[in-house]
Structure 1
């Protein structure tokens, strides 16, 4: 019997060969939003992982919407031109690999230090990484006690600008030949800031009730859906709960997922938290799985489960039990870039395709891997 983790799954017009997703992981190594040689090495390595989908890191739709000065972007022609050779390089070695991108705007959590420099708000002391103006649903700092920047509340012009920035980045993604877009509506970033009562204190049509707080994220999704090709997949990452009193609830998120599905959403990547320094997350293996299962069951939409899914048998159970349609993994792939190969070995199934130079690995695998066409065959 074939392990369910290694069965195909359809996301919109895209068929993934298996249900393993390399989750977006910020690298903080771009220059003015443009990919660097590190990205070619990093994504080339992950493309050979055997995962059904490789999702690029949070890629920001505006310069002012970056988390840090080192964050990747698709807000300029230069960004697009810099990312193209990375995609071409990856596809040259692994021509069948499915590649997605997470499009993001950091909102009030922008203008931050790179994690290895503290991860707090930028100050003049961080030169040459200098702070910039941030934008959000309301003029509420993420953490005033830690001196996070107070953002400018987006006005009508600003809302149109940000929405168009998502559309423009999606158009660039289409030109680059990417297969999947995930809009980042989680972890306390801009779209999440509109959804949450913790960060959205507006009194206009974009704030107040949950229905009004959903309006801007849904408008962004709808605008991107209109221009994103039907043969590609479009989804959104959501924070199911915020782990703090007065924050978003799983009931809120289920209804958001229902409305996204009605607009043509192909999947929801279910995570949590990130919008309050006071959050008290109950971290344990697979801690988002119950949320993914509930969204899947009650909203009738395909879901990804993410968060401390580290063992192949654990991922297999999630799929077999119908708790999610895909399992997304971040740090496991940093620790073991061949995680999917080893998962196949552990579950007793044929490993995913490999580039020809790696087929020699068949001497230690239970089955002979299928070789993909690659430059090595030239």
Structure 2
């Protein structure tokens, strides 16, 4: 699958740098052409000669050491790569990428490349969960940088927790999955189609400073929107409150920000008649306060009674009015997954329901991965095991494209 793919492997200065040797070797065995850039710190853990022997090409460490006078090395490598893979990716290189720092060969090349970038972070568990690192990773993810999440276990520092660089075999699987996605996306099965994706959680105001919402981060909805774009669609995201940024700066994408369930319904309904596919990935509040105060509610007494009234059911309302539109709903469940999913699909006249158990590890709100089960009127269509939300988003949109064009019944 990797035959002829040009992979620029960046190795940074963590103890996991020793795994880069195995990773480089396995990439070459899979048919990839590999060039290696090492930071100075990385050379303290593994030698340039090792990676030169395994890649069968010179290793780059110094921005000013031009091995070929006919080209500028960091620009040449940046243009050459089909994929830039940083493994291990330390907290330092992650921070440099976030702010655009270019003070060595690798960080300079990363600024110059237009190739997709994939990171395999590796660091101490406390470093990995530090707010600065969490923020930086979220920022890079929002820019489209792919992540191979670290594993959990005993770390070199003696701590046990999340921070171990993923094993080379699993990183290669992620690289192969990326190129497979690119190959499928190149066919652009949704060219000319208009897709609406709802994302995030809605906000129902109690007063100007308090509201009811939920844990939806927007990650799944944004991943689906990106997949639809990659498959050639014109995409509108209708987003409520989200923890991450949408995939902006993409041709063919527009963003509508809303707050409440009613706002979301009105935004979607405006676009509905001219829509080919609607994916309702947002977590919409079922109820809202009967009355929202126009001023902050002051504390008084030991208890407060809040009366809620039912919100409009966006999915059910659109399901009743659909003509040729393809409607995809989500069911976030904690028990009786198939029973609840099939009931929702029938009641709301969906074409597909994407169901997940939000209590399962690696699935649900806020994670970068998910585990989903896809249902249509005849029952379960497919189970997608734990995978990145980007991969799952692409598979969902591939299924929708096949149904829409009649390639799959």
Q: Calculate the TM-score normalised by the size of structure 1.
A: 0.31
* Larger proportion of strand: 2
Structure having the higher Rg = 2
Higher relative contact order (CA 8 A, sep 6+): 1
Q: Calculate the TM-score normalised by the size of structure 2.
A: 0.29
